[in-house]
Amino acid sequence: MSNKQTPLEIEGITESLYAGFWARLGSLLLDIIFVLPILFLALYLNGFGRYVYFITFIPSLVFGLWYNIYLPKKHGGTPGKLAVGIQIIRLDGESIGWKEAFLRHSVVLVITLLSGAIMTVCLLQADETTFINLSWLKRTAYIMSFSPAFFVFYNWVNNIWFYGELIVLLTNKRKRAVHDFIAGTVIVRTKYLEQIRAAMNPSETNLDNATISENNLT
């Protein structure tokens, strides 16, 4: 990656080039809506017994990797981001690759695996008959009762990550969250992407204009 960085502003554009809190929140809510069918399917299947969780966990994990790593690498963002008109790019203005897509999701992936490990330990201690006869909400409380210390630790990790992301996002000019700093990325408004890249490569833009002018003359 080069040392170039996306501009903080471009002449003639009055609004921010970058996706701030509300744009990201909107994209997150849309992504939640998009994945709800998969979530509900997993919850429904898990209701057939505590051991079903071990069957649904891997497909759910693979779906999460596809949604949060493959789609951003392929299209520049999750469906929610693309729907609200924002896109992930590298700090040097180029499209993200596998490295950036993975690094952006890496901390959430670790937290997900930690959650899966805790859930596994707890489920192995639970009684199958009791588990099946409980409602969905009561099942969660029942499972948590087997390892409150682990769940407290998990909640602390989750909260530290969430609030850390929020604080960093709100306190830097390019509106980058922690995972953007980890991956070397920014999220920009898609409608300004070409102007951002043109501002970062003025010589290439001038060369293209010169070529167009020469073709017109001939």
- What residue ranges do the domains of the chain occupy? 21-191
Name the nearest CA neighbour of 5 among 180, 152, 142, 214.
Answer: 180
Buried-exposed string 67-79: b where 16+ CB fall within 10 A, e elsewhere: bbbebbbeebbbb
Residue 212: band (very low, low, confident or very high) from pLDDT cuts 50, 70, 90: very low
Distant-in-sequence, close-in-space partners of 49: CB < 8 Å, separation ≥ 6: 128, 131, 132
Q: Give the global pTM.
A: 0.85
CB 203 within 8 A of CB 58: no
pLDDT of residue 103: 98
Q: What pLDDT score does 202 carry? A: 78
28: Cβ contacts below 8 Å, ≥ 6 apart: 80
Of 164 and 152, more confident:
164
pLDDT, tens digit, for every residue of 11-27? 999 999 999 999 999 99
- What is the rounded average pLDDT for all residues in the chain? 90
